[in-house]
Amino acid sequence: MPIDPKIALGAELPSREFSWTPSDVQLYQLGLGAGTRWTEPAELRYLDDRTPQVLPTFATVAPTLHETEPPRVSFPGIDIDLAKVVHGHQEVEVHRPIPAAGKATSTGRITELWDKGSAAVVVQEQTVTGSDGAPLWTARSSIFARGEGGFGGERGPSTKTELPDRAPDFDVTTPTLPQQALLYRMCGDRNPLHSDPEFARAAGFPAPILHGLCTYGIVCKTATDTVLGSEASRVTGFRARFAGVLYPGETIRTRIWRQDDELTIAATVVEREDAPVLGDVTLRFSAA
């Protein structure tokens, strides 16, 4: 079914009630590589059995943690083959630190729809409210759907964050595991692009790729550990554009520039001559 912008744009998405436990938080953060510094108290705070501190990027998996079926790209006026879709960008704004356990409700809508000619970009926003009625976080994301353009919409903005014209304040490398995607998919993202070699080849990749949201979480954790002393509660927002792919087992290079209450970040792949993997990355934080 082609995209119908008259139906899709502004469409309300089904609300969802969900909950999570400290074990869910531990699983997610293990999926990002938490525990590498297994004797350091700051690192072990991510994996505490009762009250693990929660990275804001947990918001990207919390509503779908226990799903075991591949996701469907089906919204009002939109129905797209999963093999055509890649993540465009992701942003999480937390209104208060995410608790180690909780119940919440998410509501969402399609906020933007752009026609790139050969592809379409679909932007959605999800607002999550805790069981106490107070807002927890707002998540905004986009998908890039190959072959789904040409429906007559506007092309949309094209913006790019310029990196500072100086050496980074921090330059960190983070290895990933060969089984990183197989571990991370236990957090509810069962897209076969990350686990099935034949599906990945059919989608145009030589092998399964790491989830973009896994890379997203790894880079957020790296910046939090490096600049904020592993104090996840200080992060108030994290945004990135998915600029390239990372294969499990490759190494992420994270360059970080600090200015006031914001970090500008570039994430690249060491083994492929610093090919970009995340771009337009910003992390906002509060004072200690």
pLDDT tens sequence across 193-248: 999 999 999 989 999 999 999 999 999 999 999 999 999 999 999 999 999 999 99
For the question of residue 165 being annotated catalytic, the response is no
| pLDDT attached to residue 1 | 55
Distance (Å, whole) CA 105 – CA 151: 33
Residue pair 106/63 in contact (Cβ under 8 Å)? The answer is yes
Determine which helix (DSSP H) or strand (DSSP E) holds 273, and give its type and residue range.
none
For residue 252, the one-letter residue type is I
Reported as a single tens digit per residue, the pLDDT across 35-54 is 999 999 999 999 999 999 99
Superfamily of domain 5-285: Hotdog Thioesterase (3.10.129.10)
DSSP state of 90: E
Residue pair 102/19 in contact (Cβ under 8 Å)? The answer is yes
184 phi and psi, to 5 degrees? -65, -35
> Which residue is catalytic, options 115, 189, 225, 280?
189
Distance (Å, whole) CA 61 – CA 74: 18
Instruction: Please count the CA atoms within 13 angstroms of the CA of 256 that sit on its side-chain side.
Output: 23
Instruction: Report residues of the chain scoring pLDDT below 70.
Output: 1-2
User: Domain boundaries in the chain?
Assistant: 5-285
For the question of residue 194 being annotated catalytic, the response is yes
Residue pair 177/215 in contact (Cβ under 8 Å)? The answer is no
| pLDDT attached to residue 178 | 97
Instruction: Name the pTM for this structure.
Output: 0.93
Residue 133's contacts (CB-CB under 8 Å, 6 or more residues apart) are none
| pLDDT attached to residue 278 | 98
Four-residue CA torsion sign, 64, 70, 73, 76: negative
Distance (Å, whole) CA 90 – CA 158: 16
Distance (Å, whole) CA 26 – CA 178: 20
Residue pair 243/161 in contact (Cβ under 8 Å)? The answer is no
> Which residue is catalytic, options 87, 89, 194, 211?
194
